[in-house]
Amino acid sequence: MTSIHRVSYAAIQCSFSLDKKENVEKVSSFVEKAAHQGAQVILPPELFEGPYFCREEKAEFFSWAHPLEGHPTLRHFQRLAEKLKVVIPVSFFEQDHQQYYNSVALIHSDGTIHGVYRKSHIPDGPGYEEKFYFTPGNTGFKVWETAYGRIGVGICWDQWFPECARAMMLMGAQALFYPSAIGSEPGNPSLNTKDLWQRAMIGHAVSNVVPVIACNRVGTEGDQNFYGHSFISDHRGEKVSELNSTQEGFVLAQFNLEEIRLDRASFGFFRDRRSDLYKLSGVL
């Protein structure tokens, strides 16, 4: 386990166009600005290379996927991470032979890729047609030892599942990161999930005594409005940094991992777990 105590985490929020180069440059600019303000782990939004193409089912979008090896956007952020000495969990549309995944590559502060997490929970509904594109992830949940703490990363729909957060905590995570692309519900225009989205993750923060860092995109794409509200919660569920529904920029917060570790131990959530009771006969 890492011995570093004080760390600074950031998450980027912005809109995206059809111009991949422009999108990558925009995210890179915010990474640099966040790093210059002291951020050490910097999280871009989900699938930031272009618009959220999963709004509709079109075979042409499979051409946007690339293998991990030699991925041009990943190479770009590897160079940037090494230059700035920061960690960047980079979301990308991954092709692995005949399979396609919604993935995150964990780029370390020396520019190396420490591994890939493939999204476990794949949504399917109006405006979020992800099952058309993505195979459910086969990596299992992941945590990574970095120069700035041991971090776990889930991707968007993963953030709604307490099992995902708890699994990463049991693997030793000291902070949870969630890149997202979420907004209005074309199938139910009267439903605004912004508060639900934040509450679900804040619940993970409280029940695991851990900081949660979540980012989203903003702007209107087709008939879908992405509501932003990227935020960072501390380990007691207080939002310590948040953007609104239109701002482009980043949220930033500093934490003392050793103080949080002691607070987590004193709450007793992990001491008092009854894993022997959690396997219900006949229930998956």
Residues catalogued as catalytic: 46, 119, 156
Give the list of residues 6+ apart from residue 4 with CB closer than 8 angstroms, or none: 147, 148, 149, 257
34 close to 206: Cβ distance less than 8 angstroms? no
3-state class of 150 per DSSP? strand
247 close to 218: Cβ distance less than 8 angstroms? yes
User: How large is the greatest C-alpha to C-alpha distance in the chain, in angstroms?
Assistant: 53
What's the distance, Cα to Cα, between the start and end of the chain in Å? 32
> C-alpha distances in angstroms, 74 versus 21, 43, 67, 101, 123?
13, 14, 10, 15, 25
